Structure 1
Amino acid sequence: MIKKRSLATTSIALLAVAALTGCSTGGSGDSGGDADAGGTTEVRVLVNITPNLTEEWWNELVKPFEDANPDIDVVIQSPGADGVQKALPRLLASGDAPDIVQSLAPTPELAQEFVDLSAYDWAANGPLAEQYAIDGKQYMAGVGIQLQSLWFYNKTAFEEAGITETPKNLDEFTADLAKLKDAGWTPIQTGGDWMSQMSYQALALPSVVADNPDWFQEMSSGDLTFSKTAGAYTDIYADWVAKGYLNADALGIKYPDAEQSFLAGKSALYPMGSWFAAAEANADNPPEIGVFAGPADASVKNPAMGANIASPYSILKSSEHQEAALKVVEYLATDQTAVVDQLQVDGNYRDGYEYEMNDLAKELLQIVADTPASSYTPTGNGYGERTMPAGYADELNTQVQALLGGTSAADVNSALDSWFVANAQ
């Protein structure tokens, strides 16, 4: 029987929010490993919970490790509704931090909270390790690569609209949106919550980062402005909204409902990360779905591709069981079966770790093969040394929701310019 354990999250909501800096209490990275009174060491792992990554799935994932290491009890810890990013500061402030945190990319501010894993080949040579390095050190071990600048599309919708090939640039893409609407389709399915900015980033980042390779650093330092680098794409997005190319009820649609709407064939395009492929594979009778990389402006030769590490794991310095935590993270990041299970559940990829793929997954794999390593870019707040001021992803999401609500592109660009002035590092 699979052990289904998770820590209660009701008390987490009562904890005060505190800054990450100065909250760690623990050691140098070589302490821990002492068994608790019951003869086992309890290792708590704060994980991302999604429709794919359920608590039951996480417990199944770690069960083989527990079977092979009966002296270590891996306890899956849910972050609650706020997610890992907001739960961790509260847990650190309360002195009740987990041993391991999953799905949270290290940043220069976070690095002081995490154990340096550079001495371990399985971490230092893992996927995107160099891109995530901070001062040449690795503070996480990842499982694979997760693509984000993607547009999934309903092939029947494209056929009915007379679209015979996927767009090669933004002009073609916008023309295709008009054709889809004329054919009676809702061109783009989006929603509220965190996903509002997915369509904007899929639109803007391929061009913005290709034209400004150090965009994250230069935006963060104040050397560039949002309106001068990304403002033209805000204009395009606002035009899409005005012409009805995005579902009118977007602000009231939550992520699971948006996903199911697209899978039910109610819209033509869905901007989402590669993890959607797993949802498509598990859906009952989905429409025939394809995928293409986010097209850039016609002047861009090598569009940037948003890509994050899949399932980064970091160990908290405050952990009293770092030795046991290292064993857990090494297993999750290297064991063939564990890695394949994690890649497959969210539609991610890693050289040397193959799994059975349907046609959509094979299209994603081809995008990986066609994308130069130099074209990969962070999204949102960024990672490694390519980061934005804290809170950028939330602010961008807020401003994109304003666009969906009818706020002008000029006002949104101005608001983001002001935000960067106030928050530049």
Structure 2
Amino acid sequence: MLVNVTPNLTEEFWNELVKPFEDANAGIDVVVQNPGAEGVAAALPRLLTAGDAPDVVQSLPPTVEMAPELVDLSGYDWATSAPLAEQYSIEGKTYMAGIGVQLQSLWFYNKTAFEEAGITAVPTTVEELTDALGKLADAGWTPVQTGGDWMTSHSLQALGLPTIIAEDPDWFARMSAGEDTFSGTYGPAVETYAEWVAEGYVPKDALGIKYPDAEQAFLSGKSAIYPMGSWFAGTEAKATDPADIGVFRAPAFEGTDGPAMGANIASPYSILKSSEDQDAAAKLVEFLVTDQTAVADQLEVDGNFRDGYEYEMTDLGTELQQIVADTPAEAYTPTGQGYGERTLPTGYSDEINAQTQALIGGTPAADVLSAMDDWFASSLG
């Protein structure tokens, strides 16, 4: 089994995770394969070419290009009923099973800041969120904590996608087919974000802030609202004396029913067609994505969530678990370039990040929208 090895997901963690499965299945030995510094995404093509592919691969969501190398798991209930299975399907087939979700469309907030600003309830619309930012600024707080690097566009996507996808669930397909335009769909979000920048709600020096520094600034109580994925709860749980932090799902603009929720699959598992032990591999993956203890251990170590699978959480983790429980499956949407069949042209994530940085730098919203329209026109040929 080729796995992602990180400071959290150590080889020791993986070996301990699969030991109960080995104990219960005499004759099946699970060898954990560390991809080393190159990572799973780079190691797998090399191993396939060398004829030394693993039986099971973890952490790589299936793609249209990769699907021919993977076993179709559509006949297994544990795969088709796993989190985000339908959203990650390709041509109606299920090629992976995951353990849970990483929520994306979230706004973490400093409860002390809200209290000092006189905000008694979390925003439920974008308009209420904008009003809250004004109150936070008036109370002396830095309203939005963001930064440079990859994280810049996270706030713009959290602002726009809940409305865009709620109004048009086929937005990814329509954009990729050239049937919609970025300016015609993302316009209100970009214009609102530009207003936030003009009002000083998003600091213009944010682009010089690295991700770890932005995270620490919010944790230590130096800012009021932090747009980030649910993995932040894992960081908060390990922090020493963090600020009093809560979370609310990113709202849509007024008049929108059922805001969409950006989410990625947590720890997807796939089986390679080249495997000579597909039955044993299927047994292993079923264990990894359904066993109560195995799933909970995986969720906890990386700060992920799944309704019905609980582990020891902070109050913030409990709030996120409730958001997962309250979110219907059809509300989930990709972010960035997308996944499964809901994808945008290659390079979209980098482009929207660059254009969000331009917004923070003072580029007018109209120019950013025009640039994005030109990028899509060029990408689609």
- TM-score with structure 2 length normalisation? 0.89
Q: CA RMSD in A?
A: 2.7
Asked whether the 8 Å contact 1:305–1:375 carries over to 2, the reply is yes
Q: Assess if the C-alpha contact under 8 Å between 1:48 and 1:79 holds in 2.
A: no
Q: Distance in 2 between matches of 1:98 and 1:255?
A: 34
In the TM superposition, 1:21-420 aligns within 5 A as: 43-45=1-3, 47=4, 49=6, 52-53=8-9, 57-58=13-14, 60-62=16-18, 64-65=20-21, 71-78=29-36, 80=38, 99-317=55-273, 322=278, 325-420=281-376
| 1: CA distance, partners of 2:254 / 2:36 | 44
Cα offset, 1:318, TM superposition: 5.1
- CA 1:174–1:53 in structure 2 vs 1: closer, same or farther (change >3 Å)? farther
Could you tell me how far 1:307 is from its partner in structure 2? Answer: 2.1
For the residues of structure 1 that align with 2:34 and 2:57, how far apart are their CA atoms? 10
Distance in 1, matches of 2:65 and 2:306, equals 28
Matches of 1:104 and 1:61, distance apart in 2: 19
Tell me the amino acid that sits aligned with residue 161 of structure 2. L
Q: CA deviation at 1:286?
A: 0.9
Instruction: Say which is worse superposed, 323-332 or 356-365, in terms of deviation.
Output: 323-332
Deviation at 1:309, TM superposition (A): 1.9
User: How many angstroms apart in 2 are the aligned matches of 1:251 and 1:315?
Assistant: 41
**Structure 1: unaligned runs, 5 residues or longer:** 1-42
Secondary structure, in 3 states, of the residue corresponding to 1:73?
A: coil
C-alpha distance in 1, partners of 2:213/2:8? 14
Residue 231 of structure 1: CA displacement?
1.7
Consecutive unaligned residues of structure 2, counting only runs of 5 or more, are none
Give the letter aligned to residue 140 of structure 2: G
Q: Would the alpha carbon gap of residues 96 and 163 (structure 1) be closer, same or farther in structure 2, given more than 3 Å must change?
A: farther
Aligned equivalents of 2:301, 2:223: Cα separation in 1: 24
**Which whole-Å CA distance do the structure 1 matches of 2:209 and 2:111 have between them?**
23
Instruction: Give yes or no for contact 1:106–1:132 (8 Å, CA) kept in 2.
Output: yes
What are the Cα deviations for residues 260-290 of structure 1, in whole angstroms up to 9, with x where unaligned? 2211111111111122112212211111111
Rounded to whole Å, the distance in 2 between the matches of 1:330 and 1:412 is 46
Q: Structure 1's 204 and 54: CA in aligned 2 closer, same or farther, altered over 3 A?
A: farther
- 3-state SS of paired residue (2:248): strand
- Whole-Å Cα distance in 2 between the matches of residues 87 and 410 of structure 1? 42
Q: Deviations over 1:31-86 (max 9, x none)?
A: xxxxxxxxxxxx332x274x654566445544555666773321232455xx7557
Aligned residue type for 1:227: S
CA contact (8 A) 2:2 2:58 kept: no
Shift in CA distance, 62/418, structure 1 to aligned 2, threshold 3 Å: farther
Count residues in correspondence. 379
CA change 1:383–1:160 in 2 (3 A) is: same
Contact 1:65 1:328 in 2 (8 A): yes
Report SS of the residue matched to 1:197: helix
Q: Tell me how far 1:206 sits from its aligned partner.
A: 0.8
Q: Distance in 2 between matches of 1:296 and 1:333?
A: 32
Relative to 1, partners in 2 of residues 1:93 and 1:367: Cα closer, same or farther, differing over 3 Å?
A: same
Structure with more helix by fraction = 2
- After the TM superposition, which of the residue ranges 250-259 and 303-312 deviates more from structure 2? 250-259
**Structure 2 CA distance, aligned partners of 1:264 and 1:58?**
32
Shift of 1:418: 1.6
- Of 240-249 and 297-306, more deviation after overlay is shown by 240-249
- Conserved? CA contact 1:188–1:267, under 8 Å: yes
- Check 1:407–1:214 CA distance in 2 against 1; reply closer, same or farther (3 A cut): same
The offset of 1:103, in angstroms, is: 3.1
- % same residue: 67
**Secondary structure, aligned partner of 2:263:** strand
Deviation per residue, 1:86-137 (Å, 9 max, x gap): 7766776777765544333223233223222223332122122122221221
